[in-house]
Amino acid sequence: MKLLALDASISGEHSVSRQLMGHFIDHWQLGSESKVVYRDLEDQPVNHLSQEVLAAKQQSSDTLSDAVKQELALTETLIEEFLHADEIVIAAPMYNFTIPTQLKAWIDRIVAAGRTFKYTEQGVVGLAPDKKIIIISTRGNHYSNNVSMQAMDHQENYLKTIFNFIGIRDITIIRAEGLHLGEDIRNKAIALAEQKIRELFVTVS
């Protein structure tokens, strides 16, 4: 089994999502035939798509600059990593009600027509239905159980929408929220998320 693991937090050693990612990977690696491909999207960020790179897909490679060729090669690498993974775990903290810009840049590379989805006369068809996604979601406030806050959640909702778009229905969310509402609430939220991770591996073993 191959795992693609993505960290996107900019908080370094203070990051709860990174802490939970480490907890997840530790359990994953207990498998005798497990393999992890790890990307730190903060330490090695993916450039946001530019007009030049987007247009390059329609041009002859002979006319492209070395920089653009490198960007296209990176896109291909990211797509191949995604397509060859059995499961993808994404540590996605909420920033300003949505996902980190580093994660958005990665998503814009792997959500690609002809590779992870296609257009048909009947509409869009996702090409990655066999994938399993685990989202490690961390938030400062409570959103999941607060009706007045749910409309502000463009983090989990966006991630579910974009992965549904490319055909993925098997999406599990490990959530730690209320992290900025006091030390006691924070510690309980982290402990609960770690418990959910352990339960996930008990379930699949």
Residue 45 tokens read as 């960020």
94 is in an annotated binding site: yes
96 is in an annotated binding site: yes
143 is in an annotated binding site: no
**Please, what's the b/e burial string for 33-70 (b: 16 or more CB within 10 A of its CB; e: otherwise)?**
eeeeeebbbbeeebeeeeeebeebeeeeeeebeeebee
The Cα–Cα gap between 115 and 174 comes to: 28
95 is in an annotated binding site: yes
176, burial (CB in 10 Å: exposed 0-12, middle 13-18, buried 19+): buried
17 is in an annotated binding site: yes
The annotated binding site for FMN is made up of 9, 15-17, 94-97
Q: Which residues are annotated as a binding site?
A: 9, 15-17, 94-97
